[in-house]
A and B are shown apart, each in its own frame.
Chain A
Amino acid sequence: MSQSPDSGAARAKGCGVALQNVTLGYDGHPAVHHLSGDFPAGSMTAICGPNGAGKSTLARALAGALKPIGGAILREGLPARAIAYLPQAAEIDRTFPMDVFDMVVSGARVGLFGALGARVRESAERALAAVGLQGFERRPIGALSGGQTQRMLFARLMMQDARFLVLDEPFAAVDERTTADLTALLERWRGEGRTIVAVLHDLAEVRAHFRRTLLLARECVAWGPTSDVLTADNLARARRMSEAFDESAAACERAA
């Protein structure tokens, strides 16, 4: 965190993501309602909120895996391949006979038929070293612990060399040491001018490492510098605002 917050942004100018009155949902029921704001290029934003607040839904939409049912998500200068998404509890078949190196290298941007040259292999080795998994290249993926699996997935993220990264609860089931290591990686990536958005539960972690926070409770409670957002007042409001889907809800007036 030695760099000024703007140095990375300057390098990655025009690669942030902006939301314009975005409504997201399933079967017409909104999970996220009329959200506007932006994730500036080169920033690191945490998305916080109670369960059912629509955090994962927003993450999917930011990654392009879910179309908004209203409003628009503007990704200027960001082609789909420049966006990387780490879903919550990635659905990896851990019984598949594949080793860690192959898994990591599958993130390489060489297309489906491109050759995996020496350069790609070297960068995969570097990615493995960066996440602390050197020596694990030939381990089967099924032999890794939960924390090691998450490290492997971070190495694969690194291979994707994305400018906009969306991570959904990346530290949900990993210990403090792994969380600290992987957070350091996130900060390194931000320093390289990448834009990072992460769904997180641990408010202490957010306060310590994320300058910007979006507090979500199906609607925006607060969005801005973390110290202004994570106040006792806002958190209490977020808890009150998160309620269950209303099956008989009328059509939204604001949608018109």
Chain B
Amino acid sequence: MHDLFIAPFADFAFMRRALVGAVALSLSGAPLGVFLILRRMSLSGDAMAHAILPGAAIGYLVAGLSLPAMTIGGLAAGLVVAFGAGLAARATSLREDASLAAFYLVSLALGVTLVSLRGSNIDLLHVLFGNVLALDDSALMLLSAIASLTLLALALLYRPLVLDTVDPAFLATTTRAGSATQIAFLGVLVLNLVAGFHALGTLMSVGLMMLPAASARLWARRLETTLALAALFAVLAAYIGLVASYRLATPSGPSIVLAAGAIYFLSLIFGASGGALRHFAPRRHLEA
């Protein structure tokens, strides 16, 4: 047991760093994923993650594989797409999902083109899939800072965010906080996607956000429990994924997302709140 579950982390610093980075991502990303699902924005997270690519690619063109340059570029691109799509939805007859899809497809193509202009295929793979095993000190600091900031922001925004999700019209008649909340939420989302981008790449980072969130929805009935469970599932997936990747010599990012996927499929079947078994073999109903 020790050899299997502890030794890889005891023996190798890069495994410890990977674990710390992935846990930081899990703690902040998974609760965000729960809100994305509740706000019916499950696919927006994916779209936004792709949208970060051209910004990071420009940073890469300017400074090579540099953490600050790619972070700033990614942040800028993510914010532009988030608010550009929102603006397009309000100012044109297209709905927000259509605008977002258009924006992110263009972004992804632009990003891949930009990276290929200068870099090798290895660099492109790094950008698309990240490398959680190569996180340096500054990257770890960045991930932890973003995770802390996100949890603080969620605590502060909790009430308006919940009200804006469950009954936006009511929030709009009682305060003017609705749009500010939405903007802050999108900002935090972009931050987390940029963090995820460094560890898991643009294609995989949403996995650690959405899969544990969807799994938690299948178990918990209360929002508080759902949020905590989502973070727990994400940490678990990160750990199992890293161990599997070490033992089986599989790529680490996809292994983590696959572990999250395994938890998701188990939850689909066994989930106590909406799982398939409950659906086909319901409990006996109560007296009242």
Identify which of residues 86-113 in chain B touch chain A, using a CB-to-CB cut-off of 8 Å: none
- Does A64 interact with chain B (Cβ within 8 Å)? yes
Cα(A65)–Cα(B173), bound, Å: 7
- Contact (Cβ within 8 A) B170 A99: no
Cα(A96)–Cα(B170), bound, Å: 15
Contacts of A160 in B (CB 8 A): 174
- Does B223 interact with chain A (Cβ within 8 Å)? yes
- Does A204 interact with chain B (Cβ within 8 Å)? no
Interface residues of A (CB under 8 A from B): 63-65, 81, 84-85, 87, 90-93, 96-99, 103, 106, 112-113, 140-141, 156, 160
Give 6 CB contacts A-B under 8 Å.
A87-B169, A90-B169, A90-B170, A92-B166, A141-B166, A156-B170
- Contact (Cβ within 8 A) B223 A112: no
Cα(A103)–Cα(B163), bound, Å: 9
Sorting the interface of chain B by its residue count into under 10, 10 to 19, 20 to 34 or 35 or more gives 20 to 34
Contacts of B248 in A (CB 8 A): none
Contacts of B38 in A (CB 8 A): 93, 96-97
**Closest-CB distance, A197 to chain B (whole angstroms):** 15
- Contact (Cβ within 8 A) B221 A81: no
- Contact (Cβ within 8 A) B173 A92: no
Cα(A149)–Cα(B232), bound, Å: 33
The one of A64, A96, A112 that contacts B159, using a Cβ cutoff of 8 Å: A112
Which 9 pairs of residues, A with B, have the shortest CB-CB distance? A96-B166, A97-B223, A92-B167, A112-B160, A85-B173, A91-B169, A93-B166, A112-B159, A112-B177
Cα(A129)–Cα(B221), bound, Å: 24
Besides A85-B173, A98-B166, 11 other CB < 8 A contacts? A87-B169, A91-B167, A92-B167, A92-B170, A96-B223, A97-B38, A103-B166, A106-B159, A106-B167, A112-B159, A113-B159
Contact string against A for B residues 186-210, beta-carbon threshold 8 Å, 1 for contact and 0 otherwise = 0000000000000000000000000
Identify which of residues 221-237 in chain B touch chain A, using a CB-to-CB cut-off of 8 Å: 221-223, 226
**Closest-CB distance, A22 to chain B (whole angstroms):** 19
Contacts A97-B226, A140-B221, A160-B174 hold; do A113 and B167 have CB atoms under 8 A apart?
A: no
The one of B156, B160, B167 that contacts A93, using a Cβ cutoff of 8 Å: B167
Q: Which residue of A lies closest to B221 (CB)?
A: A97
Cα(A238)–Cα(B85), bound, Å: 45
Q: Which residue of B lies closest to A162 (CB)?
A: B174
- Contact (Cβ within 8 A) B165 A97: no
Contacts A93-B167, A96-B38 hold; do A112 and B173 have CB atoms under 8 A apart?
A: no
Cα(A63)–Cα(B172), bound, Å: 11
Interface residues of B (CB under 8 A from A): 38, 156, 159-160, 162-163, 165-170, 172-175, 177, 220-223, 226
- Contact (Cβ within 8 A) B168 A91: yes
Contacts of B223 in A (CB 8 A): 96-98
Contacts of B222 in A (CB 8 A): 97, 99
Contacts of A85 in B (CB 8 A): 173
Q: Which residue of B lies closest to A87 (CB)?
A: B169
Cα(A99)–Cα(B222), bound, Å: 8
Cα(A106)–Cα(B174), bound, Å: 10
- Contact (Cβ within 8 A) A81 B174: yes
Cα(A85)–Cα(B170), bound, Å: 8
Contacts of A96 in B (CB 8 A): 38, 162, 165-166, 223
Contacts of A140 in B (CB 8 A): 221
Contacts of A103 in B (CB 8 A): 166
- Contact (Cβ within 8 A) B165 A93: yes
**Closest-CB distance, B283 to chain A (whole angstroms):** 15
**Interface-centre pick from B38, B159, B167, B221 (highest chain A CB count, 10 A):** B167
Cα(A97)–Cα(B223), bound, Å: 6
**Closest-CB distance, B229 to chain A (whole angstroms):** 12
Cα(A98)–Cα(B223), bound, Å: 7
Cα(A92)–Cα(B169), bound, Å: 8
**Closest-CB distance, B159 to chain A (whole angstroms):** 5
Cα(A63)–Cα(B162), bound, Å: 23
Cα(A64)–Cα(B221), bound, Å: 36
Contacts of B165 in A (CB 8 A): 93, 96
Contacts of A97 in B (CB 8 A): 38, 220-223, 226
Cα(A66)–Cα(B226), bound, Å: 37
Contacts of B220 in A (CB 8 A): 97
**Closest-CB distance, A75 to chain B (whole angstroms):** 14
Contacts A93-B166, A113-B159 hold; do A64 and B175 have CB atoms under 8 A apart?
A: no
**Closest-CB distance, A245 to chain B (whole angstroms):** 20
- Contact (Cβ within 8 A) B167 A90: yes
Contacts of A93 in B (CB 8 A): 38, 165-167
